[in-house]
Amino acid sequence: MANNHWQNLNSRTPSFRFGTGHIFNSVFDSNADGINTRDGAQLLVQNSVWSDATKAIKSTDEGFAVSEGNIFNGAKDTAPNGTFTDPPYSFTLLDAEDVTSSVVGTAGATLQF
């Protein structure tokens, strides 16, 4: 999951059960709950930004996460450390300082008729 803008949501931004997940270059703004890794999921969360949040990455039911290059702005990463660090595909990370200006305004449905 890349280049997403999660705004004004209550929870599950997103929620992963089982398997592996990769979240990068994403913005989390004014959400009550953060990324939830659960039921053995292994997440890699990279170069993403949180604002106006208290929970950035959390775990319920034994999920795990590796967090690299994120800007939490006071939000907490309380998920146990995971082992997933090398996705089997190529991708480009933005500098975390540039994520908000690059993603907000271009994420989501942008069709105009």
Q: Residue 14 in contact with residue 45, Cβ under 8 Å?
A: no
Q: Would residue 12 show up in a list of annotated catalytic residues for this protein?
A: yes
**Model confidence, pTM:** 0.92
Task: Give the whole-angstrom CA distance, residue 55 versus residue 20.
Answer: 20
Annotated catalytic residue, options 11, 12, 32, 68? 12
The mean pLDDT of the chain is 94
Q: How many CB atoms lie within 10 A of CB 99?
A: 23
Does position 49 have pLDDT exceeding 70, yes or no?
yes
| Model pLDDT for residues 66-106, shown as the tens digit of each residue | 999 999 999 999 999 999 999 999 999 999 999 999 999 88
Does position 109 have pLDDT exceeding 90, yes or no?
no
* pLDDT value of position 75: 95
Amino acid at 100: T
Higher per-residue pLDDT: 51 or 32: 51
Domain ranges for the chain, please list them.
Answer: 5-83
